[in-house]
Each structure stands twice: as C-alpha cells, then as structure tokens.
Structure 1
Amino acid sequence: MKRPPKDNEASQKIMTRRGLILGGAQLGLVGVLAGRMRYMQVDQADEFRLLADENRINLRLIPPSRGRIYDRNGVIIAENAPSYRINMIREEADDVEEVIDRLARIIELDPDELERALKDLKKLRGDTPVTVADRVSWDDVSRVAVNTPALPGIVPEVGLSRHYPTGYDYAHVIGYVGPVNDRDLETIDAPDALLLIPRFQIGKIGLEKRREDTLRGKAGNKRVEVNAAGRVMRELERVEGQAGADIQVTINDQLQAYVNSRLEGQSAAAVVMDCENGDLLACVSAPSYDPNLFVRGISSTNYNALLENKYRPLPNKVVQGVYPPGSTFKMVTALAALESGNANLGETVYCPGHLQVSGRRFHCWKRGGHGSVDLLRSLRESCDVYYYEMARRTGIEKISEMARLLGLGTVHDLPMTSVAKGLAPTKDWKQINRDEAWQVGDSVNASIGQGFVLASPLQLAVMSARLATGRSVEPRLIKSIDGVEQPPLPGEDLGLNPRYLHAVREAMFEVSNSRRGTAYRSRIIEETLRMAGKTGTSQVRNISAAERAAGVRRNSDLPWERRDHALFVNFAPYDNPKVAVAVVVEHGGGGSKAAAPIARDITLQALYDGDPPLEAYPAKDRENIEAQQEEYQKKRPNRSKPRQDRA
C-alpha cells in the first residue's frame, strides 16, 4: 500500500537529521585527528623525530659521589678527586678499531688499559660506556673534544675517583676501593646497575668494603641527545642520584700518624683504645702501604714487592694477626684462679726455676727461680712457676672462660675485614681439632700465654680496657654517619670481685713503677699519668734440653724470623684510666726492651694529645725523646685541615 505523502516527508526529515548528526560526528573526528597529526608532525616534530631513532637518545647512569671519611676531629682521610677519562660507546662507533686508531694519534693510550677496554667493549652491551683512557690531562680532554666529529662513540668525561690524602697511615683501617671485577659480581646476588659500569669503584677491604652500602650512594640518570657522529648535543632530562653518606671514625689522625712513625722499621701492631667508651683512637699495622696504588688497579711490580716483603705489609696485624700472648696472659690465669676459689690473695708459691708436671719439667724464664712469690710479685717480676701452679689447680676450662670474659677468643664486631677470633682453647677444642685428649701440660703452657692460646693486638687492648674498668668495654670504630652520632656500648659490669681486680691492677702498676718491675725502665714519670702494664715475650721456637743446658741462645744471635715476639699491654692513668694500649713487635725479642718503650711513648702521646713535655719521661730517655720529636715534626707536619663541603 502506498504510504501517505505526509509519512514520506516525516521519514525523510528523520533520515536527513540523522545524516547530519553522523556526518557532523565524522567531520569532528576527522578534525580531531587532523589536529593531533598537526601537533605531532609540526609542533612536536623534533622530539618525535629523535625518539623514532633509538641511537640518538641515550639513557645514561650518573654515578653518585662516594661518601667521604673523616677522623674524629674532622680531618679528611678519604675523599673524591676529579678524574678525567675518555669513554667509548660501541654502538655509536662505526668501526671500533678505526676509531681507536684515530684516538691513538691524538692522545697516548696505555697498552694494558686499552687491552682491558677492548675486552669490555666486546662483552658488554653496546650502549655501555667503556673507559679507554683514564686519568688523562685536561689538554688531552681538550684535544679529544675538538676532534669528536672524527671520533664517533668517543665521549670525554670528568668523574670522581677515590683519593687517600694521608697515604700509608690508614691503609689497614680504611682499606681502599678498586674497579669492580668478575669475582666481586659473583659474590653479589643482585648487582646494582652501577656495578656493571666498567671501572666503577667499590670497597675492596677494610671500612671501605664493610660499609660499602653506606658509602656508595644511589645512581642518578640522564637522557641525552646525540648526533649521527655520537656527539652529545644536549641533555634532555636529568634525575640526580643520592650521594653516599659521610662516615666519621673514632681514630685521632695526629695520634695515628705518630704511631705509624713510632713503628717505622718494625713488623708490628699497636692499638690505643678509650677506656670509657671503647673508641679506637689509633689502630696501626706496620709496615703499611699506599692505598692509592690500588684505586685503579695496582701494577704487578708494585704488588709483588708488597708480597715479597718479609715484614708482611698487606695483612692488618691488628685484627688479623694472632700471636701467643705470652706473659700478658698472666692476669687472665690469676683472675681465673682467684674467682674459682683455687687461690688466695695472700698465699705464696715457691719458684725454684721450674715445675715438674706429669714427668715433664716446665721452666721459669729465670733459671735460678724467684723463691717464694705472691700474686703481686709474680706479675711484677713475671714469674712463670706461680702461674704453672695456678693452672694445675684451676684447669683450662676456667682459664678460657675468664679469657673470653676479658675479650680474648671472641670476634669483636668491627667494620674491618678478616677480624680474627683468636683462641681460648678447651678440652673439647683439642679433641675436635687435634683428635687428642687435653693434658695437664697443655694447661700449664696456656697459663703463661703459650701453647694453643692465641690473641690479636686488638683483643689484648680490649683485655686491658676491661681490666682497667671492670666493664665489658667493646671496641668502636665508627663515631658518626652523616653527622648522626653512633652510640657507644659502655659495657656492663664484668661481675668480678673488686678485691681481685684491685690486686691485679696494683700488680700491673708495680710492673711499670717498681724498680723490680719488668717495665720499670719504660715508666712514666708524671705522677698523675703513671701507667699499669704487663710485659710479654712469646716464643716462636722450641728450646731443646741440650740448648737449655748449654745456655739459651740470645734473640740477637738468631735469625730475625726465629726471634721471640715482644708484647706489652697497659692502661693509664692508673687512678683514672683513660686509655688502654697494646703493642706487639713481631720477632722483637723481649717485651720489656722492644714493646714497652713504644707503648709508653704512644700512651703519653694519647694522654697529652700531642708531644708530651720531656719531664714526663725518665731522665735517661729525654735526649732520645727530644731527637725523636724533632725528627717526627720534620717528617710529619700538622696535617689538620677544616672539614670541607661535599664536592
């Protein structure tokens, strides 16, 4: 049926309206697209043209500034120095060998350094900057910059490299940094992207290694535009990283320098510890080495020279070196016997020069013996037989328990590498490690710090501080981090009988201040600063019966490596202990001759915070001390300088 005209007209109007709406929508969409295309093609043309070409926009890491290290007074001992280098980015170089050849015509390239760089260029990602020339001069950088159009992929750069301005003085404490190597990466579960940058420096030993996470900081990044030749045209975006935290150590720089100087020419170690809070004021292993040699990779010639030195400059003798403590251990044996009830303060032991134990004769250092001795005299004159008897009564378990209470045979938590535990032996230890039963003779040997007993200079300093205070003082190396003080551990009361502690301290005072004391010649004259100490001599060879009968050979007649170790421990002032000191001189002979004078001089330097007056020394020593002080001032002028702002 034919539709009425009115219906057709209405239908047509509806269709026309719909067509207009649809057409308008289409036209609007086309307009929006056209506007967007114009915006992208005209207004944003430069940016999107660059983004379309990946080789012309690079994202590069910005290494953070490593945290600096200061002494307790703000003297800088590890800093970051500007370092100019020439890097290459493989994917931006047309022909690596050709570009290297052109670069070699402009500046001198080190063959070894270049060989390492070529290996890195082959194995690393193409967009990773690889250093082909390090520590170049500003003139070299300028010449390369001028010629960059002919050197695609070559990027001159200024960065920061670690520098140790005090040289040898802190090598064993602070350690050093060096380039990341494959062995470093193998020990890390998820390496930071920074570590994949060739030649990036991380801590290798010492504080630098133990506090690497604190010192390293976090990387930043930047987006840069480069032209077809690989030359950086502009920086598009930069996100700064986070610098590493500064660390302030407890070491006193002037005292550290003095101790290094005082130990010069020796194979030795010395520790100075604050009795109140455990701060390590000086911590020296001698001889030392220049850590700056290791920062960019030490040469084989220099490294072999260090390895072949019979005085062993590389190990940190303060914490790694363990030695029989000799007679410095006698305070441990005495307290173990007293506290266990196996000895009384007033009793005496007769010393005829030896003690027969289980069919074996154990000799006193004094061939004719000391006669009747009590605790005070036994320590003052270092009678061995008294302690043999104490050990026979007390047993090794009580002796070793006391040793651990006083800080021996335990690992102290310090941010240094290879901190040794030492050894306070027990019956079980010998059974497990030697598959042998413990003998009474083992206890007798241990009573005078020989046999299986081993201690580090650090542990001996801790022992001295604990004897001085009666508290479990712990050594501390870090004073503050980014200005935030790190709380010391004052230590709890050891729980020892005050009468026994007083008796041991009084005997140690006699060692240094009685004419019969083994360290009397190294006493302190100043009344208010007098020290209490103990000498020690530890054998490194067995003395045969034949040699003893013919007369024991003097240390000076023996080859150096067969001479006894010399030890001395002390605290001062006696009435108000401020510092504890331990000195070990490897193969130095007797403790009274080799170690005690060094310890006395170090103690006075610590107490006076500088050169003491000559009146503090015995009259016979003053001329030598004056000459020593003058020589020291010539060689080591005051290095103190104000704290600097971060570069």
Structure 2
Amino acid sequence: MKRAPKDVIASARTVSRRALVVGGLQLGVVGALGLRMQSLQVEQADQFRLLAEENRINIRLLPPSRGLIFDRNGIPIAANEQNYRVVMVREDAGDVGEVLAKLTEIVDIDPSDLARAMEEMRRRSPFVPVTIADRLSWEDVAQINLNTPALPGIQAEVGLSRVYPWGADLAHVVGYVGPVSDYDLSRIDDPDPLLQIPKFQIGKTGAENKLERSLRGSAGTRRIEVNAAGRIMRELDRQEGDPGKDVQLTLDSRLQSYVQARLDNESAGAVVIDLENGDLRAIASAPAFDPNLFVRGISVSDWTALNADKYRPLAAKAVQGTYPPGSTFKMVTVMAAMEAGVVAPDETVYCPGYTDVFNIRFHCWKRGGHGNIDLHESLKQSCDCYYYEIAQRVGIDKMAEMARKLGLGVRHDLPLSAVAEGLAPDKEWKARVRGEEWRIGDTVNASIGQGYVLTSPLQLAVMTARIATGRVVTPRLIRLIDGVEQPSGLGESLGINENTMRRVRASMVDVCNHRRGTAYGSRIIDEAHQMAGKTGTSQVRRITPEERAAGVTRNEDLPWERRDHALFVGYAPYDNPRYAVSVVVEHGGGGSAAAAPIARDILLQAQYGGPPPLEAYPAGVRDKIAEQQSRIEARVPQGSSGLSRV
C-alpha cells in the first residue's frame, strides 16, 4: 500500500532526529576518549612512565607522638626527643645480607644490632619495616640518603623516642617505656597495629604502663611511591593520627627530687600527701634506677647489676613494699578501743616492762617499764604494755575494722605497678588463709603492729592523713588527663568520735614536742611549722629468752638484713594540718633515730616550698643540716620546660 506523502515526510523527519542524536552521542564519546588519551599521554605521562618502571605504592603507618607527662607545675617528667634511625623492608631489599654489608661500609653499626635485625626480619612479614639501628647522627642519615640507589629496601627516618629528664628521681612513679616484645603482644587479645612496628615503644611499668592507652594515641598513614630500587619518589598523601593525651601528675618534681636525695644511702620509702585534696606530692623509693636505660632495651650487664643489688633498686618500696608497722599502729589500737568504749582516756595501765598472757611473756621496749601510764603518755612514750592490755579488751576484729577505716589493709587505686594491699588481719582471715584459729597472742602482737599486720608507706601516709583531718582522704596521683581535672581525694567524714581524734592528735603532738616524746630529738623549732607524729620500730627477727637475759644485741652489731625496720608517720603544721608524711627505712634500726629526722626534713621542705631556714631546726643540728642542704641542692635538678612532643 502506497504511503501518503505526508507520512513519508514525517517519517523522514523522525529518522533525521534520531541520526542527529546518535551522531551526537558518538561524537561525545569520541571526544571524551580523546581528552582522556590526551590526559594519559601528555599530562600524566611522567606518572605512568614511573609506574612502567615497576614503581609501587606503599602504605605505611605513622606512629603518633606519645603524650607527655608533667608534674603539678607543668614541668615535663616524661618527654620526647628526635631520634634518627635506619630501617629496612625485606621484600624491597633483594639480597638482605649484601645490602646490610653495603650499609655497614657507610655507617658504623654494632654487629649485635645487625644480628637482632636479621632475626627480627625472619620473624616478621616481608613488607614490615625493621629497624636496623637508631640514635644515628645527622651525618650518618645524610650519607644513607646519598647512597639510597645502592641500598634497596633501606630508608633513613626520623622519629620520636622517650626521655626522662629527672632520671632516677621519678623512676618508680613514672616508670619507663621499652620496645614492644612478643611477650607484650601475647598478653593483648586485639593488638593495636601500631604494636607491629618494630621497636615501637610502650609503657612497661608505672604510670607509663597503667596509662598506656591514653598516652599512646592512634596511628596515621602515608602513601608513598617508590621505584624499583626502593627509592621514595614522592609522598602521595598523608593522614596524621591522633597524638597521645598529655597527663599531669600531682607530684611536685622538686619535692620528689629532694625526698629522693634525702633517702640517699638508705633502702627506704617515703610518701607525702597534700591534706587539702589527697594529692600525692612525693612518692620516693631508694635506691632507684635510671629509666632511660630501658628505653632502647637495657644491656645484660646493667640488668644484672640492678637485680643483684641487695637493696632492690627496681622495687617501688613506697607502694609495693609491705612492712610490720610497729608502734605507728598504736593509734589504730587505741582508737578502736576508745570507739568500742573499753578504755577511758584517763584510765591507767601498769607497765612493769612486760605482760604475761597465758604463760607467754610479751615485753615492753623499756626493760624497766613505764609504771602507771594512760592513753596520752602511752603514745608519747610508746609504751607497749598499755596496748597489750587494751587490745585484749577490744579484740582483733574491731582493731582490723578500724585499720581498714584508716586506709590500712586496703589496696588504693593508683596507676602504679604492684600497689600492695597490705594486711589488716582478723579471725576470719586466719581461718580462711591459714586454716587455724585466732589466738589471743596474735591479738597482743597485732596491737603494736607486729605479727601478721603488714602495711606499705603509702597506706601509713593515708592513715596519718585521715587521723590529721578526720576525713576519708583518698590518695590521688593523676591531676589532669588531656586537660580534664580528675576527682579530688578529699572525702567525707570518717565518722569517728571527735573526742577520740583530739586525744590521739594531742598525743602525737607531744611525741614530737615534749621532752619525753620519742621523736623530741627530731622536733621542729619554728612554731608555725611544728609537726605531730609517731615513731615505730618493727622487728624482723625473733629475740630468744637467752638473748634477752644476756642483753638484746644492738641493731648496729647485727648484719644489715637482721636489723629492725625504722618507721615514722607525721603531719604538719600540727594545729592546721597541710601535709602528711610516712617514712620507712628498711633495717634502719630505731624509728626515732633513723626515720623521724628524714620525715622532719621532708615536712619542712614541703611547707616552705624549698630549703627551710636553719632557725627551724634545733640549734645542735644546724651545722649538719646546712651541709646536708648544700649537698642536696647541688644534686636536685632544676628541671626543664623546653622539652615537648615534637
């Protein structure tokens, strides 16, 4: 059927439009291909020429800068310093031995470092960079960069390494970092990819370890282009990670350094607490060690020397050491008895120099006895028989309850390694742990801080702080994390009768300031800064009846490890308490002779914020104190605020 002319014209128009659309699309596609070809052949020619020469794109982790640790005054006590190092990627190196041989011709590398690096490369993935040597000079780094074409897989880098400006003075508190080990990785269920970076530093002890997550930060990444010889051609892009959070401790680094110096030549621990907020101003253990030795991995000789030292420099005695508290525990016994209503403040107990309990004789330290003695005099003169008597009345369970209320036998939550719980024993404890019945002799022993009772210097400082304030003072070590204030340590009232507290405090004042007080020789003359306290001496050996009959051997005539521990606890000023202190000198002999003078000096240093005037001391010791201050001031570093995270 012949189509009408009108239909033919309409059909022709439709075909023409379709042809134009199809032609336009084809032209657009051809044009786009032409532009893309121009871009590939002209604009990106260099890039693809490099790729054609077997270039590769590598993605590498960027370690974040570790958060800094400051003291309460903003002085860095754990900082970062630049560290030049050389690393190798095994899959880029080809013949590893040949490359390392060439490297040693350019820079001097310890053979032990080479052996360690070879072993590490065998254990790790071939694309993971392995550190060959670190702490290189800038000249060494320049030589390596100049010779990169001849050193496939080798790259010089700059990073950050931990440094401790105050050395041994804060070692037991801050702790130290060290290279991550297989043991570290085995303890982590889901390890951070950062930990796979060879020689990446993590906290091993102290605050560095307990605050690891906050201090570490998170990794960044960078994409780099390298050619067939391993030379980095360019960095394609970089995404920085998050740096670790900065931490501010409550410690005063200069006071800490003073306390550490004052404990010099002793095996001892000391703690200072600010009574306004529970801030720990100083936590010192002597002897100490240089944490910088551990940052790169301590040598065998240094490690052996530290472990072989009988004074245990690696032990944080102030928080993990536990000792019989001796007579410093007498405040616990008498407060338990007064709160239980089994002894009146003015009631006297006769002390003939011993107390017989079921045919067992318990001796007072004063062989001839103290005669009739009341609460006040018993603390001032540290009569043992008074406490033997009142302890039998009150019983061990109430004594243990009071001890825990005052912070003994309690593990205080601090970001430190191995914080000791101590022991405030009671009947249930002995039945559960030893499977034995509690005996009255156990109570008598515990009444003067012997037997099963164990406390740390930290716990004794907390006990003293609570007695001084009547409040539940909780020790605080972290002041700020990333600028965020941490909770204060000043708690609610202890709930102990104020009359009991006043009686005990008044006795502690006379311990230090009355001529018959056991710490009178270590008194403070300056009335505005006078202290209250209590001496203690704890036995570490049994004195046989034969030895007692012949005369007890003096501490100085015994081997060091068989001498008594010396203790002192105190606070100042006694009429407006600001600081509490505890001092334990291992095998130091008597508390009045060995521990009390140290505590006095520390309390004066804390109150004055530096060396006190000689007039604060008794006239007879001022020459000695002047020499001591001069020696310690020469040792105490000034600190630095210039070290930073970059």
Q: Please confirm whether the aligned pair reaches a TM-score higher than 0.5, indicating the same fold.
A: yes
Written as runs of structure 1 = structure 2, the 5 A alignment for 1:154-303 is: 154-303=154-303
How high is the TM-score relative to the length of structure 2?
Answer: 0.96
Q: CA deviation at 1:10?
A: 7.1
For residues 55 and 458 of structure 1, do their structure 2 counterparts lie closer, same or farther at Cα, with a shift above 3 Å needed? farther
For residues 593 and 23 of structure 1, do their structure 2 counterparts lie closer, same or farther at Cα, with a shift above 3 Å needed? same
Q: Secondary structure at the match of 1:503?
A: helix
Q: What is the match of residue 61 of structure 1?
A: 61
The alignment yields a C-alpha RMSD, in angstroms, of 1.9
Q: What is the match of residue 601 of structure 1?
A: 601
Q: CA deviation at 1:482?
A: 3.3
Note if 1:575 corresponds to 2:578: no
Q: What is the match of residue 630 of structure 2?
A: 630
Q: Secondary structure at the match of 1:318?
A: helix
Q: What is the match of residue 337 of structure 1?
A: 337
For residues 213 and 31 of structure 1, do their structure 2 counterparts lie closer, same or farther at Cα, with a shift above 3 Å needed? same
Q: CA deviation at 1:640?
A: 4.0
Q: Which moved further from structure 2: 122-131 or 398-407?
A: 122-131
Distance in 2, matches of 1:275 and 1:291, equals: 30
Q: What is the match of residue 513 of structure 2?
A: 513
Q: What is the match of residue 126 of structure 1?
A: 126
Q: Which moved further from structure 2: 287-296 or 49-58?
A: 49-58
Q: Secondary structure at the match of 1:83?
A: strand
Note if 1:114 corresponds to 2:114: yes
Q: CA deviation at 1:643?
A: 5.6
Q: Secondary structure at the match of 2:230?
A: coil
Distance in 1, matches of 2:470 and 2:536, equals: 22
Written as runs of structure 1 = structure 2, the 5 A alignment for 1:13-92 is: 18=18, 21-47=21-47, 56-92=56-92
Q: Secondary structure at the match of 1:117?
A: helix
Please tell me the residue identity of whatever aligns with 2:294.
F
Gaps of 5+ in 2: none
CA-to-partner distance for each residue in 1:590-614, whole Å, 9 max, x for gaps?
1111111111111111111111111
Please tell me the residue identity of whatever aligns with 1:415.
P
Distance in 2, matches of 1:166 and 1:574, equals: 32
Q: Secondary structure at the match of 1:319?
A: helix
Q: CA deviation at 1:207?
A: 0.6
Distance in 2, matches of 1:643 and 1:485, equals: 24
Q: CA deviation at 1:13?
A: 6.8
Q: Secondary structure at the match of 1:472?
A: strand
**Percent same amino acid at aligned positions?**
61
Q: CA deviation at 1:316?
A: 0.3
Distance in 2, matches of 1:510 and 1:20, equals: 112
Q: CA deviation at 1:567?
A: 0.3
Q: CA deviation at 1:561?
A: 0.5
Q: CA deviation at 1:487?
A: 3.5
* Aligned 8 A contact 1:332 1:402 in 2: yes
Note if 1:500 corresponds to 2:500: yes
* Aligned 8 A contact 2:70 2:78 in 1: yes
Q: Which moved further from structure 2: 616-625 or 31-40?
A: 31-40
Written as runs of structure 1 = structure 2, the 5 A alignment for 1:313-462 is: 313-462=313-462
Distance in 1, matches of 2:35 and 2:305, equals: 74
Distance in 2, matches of 1:453 and 1:350, equals: 25
Q: What is the match of residue 619 of structure 1?
A: 619
Distance in 1, matches of 2:71 and 2:14, equals: 90
CA-to-partner distance for each residue in 1:356-378, whole Å, 9 max, x for gaps?
22331111111221111100111
How high is the TM-score relative to the length of structure 1?
Answer: 0.96
Q: Which moved further from structure 2: 194-203 or 180-189?
A: 180-189
Please tell me the residue identity of whatever aligns with 1:387.
Y
Q: CA deviation at 1:389?
A: 1.1
Distance in 1, matches of 2:163 and 2:3, equals: 101
Q: CA deviation at 1:37?
A: 4.2
Please tell me the residue identity of whatever aligns with 1:565.
H
Q: CA deviation at 1:189?
A: 2.0
Q: Secondary structure at the match of 1:86?
A: strand
* Aligned 8 A contact 2:71 2:253 in 1: yes
CA-to-partner distance for each residue in 1:59-114, whole Å, 9 max, x for gaps?
12221111112221222211111111111111221211110111011111122222
Q: Secondary structure at the match of 2:136?
A: coil
Q: Secondary structure at the match of 1:492?
A: strand
Aligned residues: 645
Note if 1:536 corresponds to 2:541: no
Distance in 2, matches of 1:79 and 1:433, equals: 45
Distance in 2, matches of 1:318 and 1:377, equals: 30
Please tell me the residue identity of whatever aligns with 2:604.
L
Q: What is the match of residue 639 of structure 1?
A: 638
* Aligned 8 A contact 1:351 1:372 in 2: yes
Distance in 1, matches of 2:128 and 2:470, equals: 58
Q: CA deviation at 1:23?
A: 4.9
Note if 1:488 corresponds to 2:497: no
Q: Secondary structure at the match of 2:131?
A: strand
Note if 1:559 corresponds to 2:580: no
Q: What is the match of residue 589 of structure 2?
A: 589
Please tell me the residue identity of whatever aligns with 2:251.
I
Q: CA deviation at 1:327?
A: 0.4
Distance in 2, matches of 1:409 and 1:513, equals: 30
* Aligned 8 A contact 1:70 1:247 in 2: yes
Q: CA deviation at 1:22?
A: 4.0
CA-to-partner distance for each residue in 1:2-30, whole Å, 9 max, x for gaps?
65685788767766665554454444434
Distance in 1, matches of 2:120 and 2:643, equals: 36
For residues 357 and 128 of structure 1, do their structure 2 counterparts lie closer, same or farther at Cα, with a shift above 3 Å needed? same
* Aligned 8 A contact 1:74 1:643 in 2: no
Distance in 2, matches of 1:609 and 1:154, equals: 53
For residues 17 and 508 of structure 1, do their structure 2 counterparts lie closer, same or farther at Cα, with a shift above 3 Å needed? closer
Q: CA deviation at 1:269?
A: 0.5
CA-to-partner distance for each residue in 1:442-479, whole Å, 9 max, x for gaps?
11111111111100000000111100000001111122
For residues 49 and 440 of structure 1, do their structure 2 counterparts lie closer, same or farther at Cα, with a shift above 3 Å needed? farther
Distance in 1, matches of 2:347 and 2:309, equals: 49
Distance in 2, matches of 1:254 and 1:228, equals: 55
Q: Secondary structure at the match of 1:355?
A: strand
* Aligned 8 A contact 1:70 1:78 in 2: yes
* Aligned 8 A contact 1:430 1:436 in 2: yes
Q: CA deviation at 1:32?
A: 3.3
Q: What is the match of residue 525 of structure 1?
A: 525
Q: Secondary structure at the match of 1:593?
A: helix
Distance in 1, matches of 2:644 and 2:45, equals: 44
For residues 33 and 432 of structure 1, do their structure 2 counterparts lie closer, same or farther at Cα, with a shift above 3 Å needed? same
* Aligned 8 A contact 1:470 1:496 in 2: yes
Q: CA deviation at 1:390?
A: 1.4
Q: CA deviation at 1:127?
A: 2.3
Distance in 2, matches of 1:563 and 1:483, equals: 47
* Aligned 8 A contact 1:55 1:92 in 2: no
Q: CA deviation at 1:582?
A: 0.3
Gaps of 5+ in 1: none
* Aligned 8 A contact 1:50 1:57 in 2: no
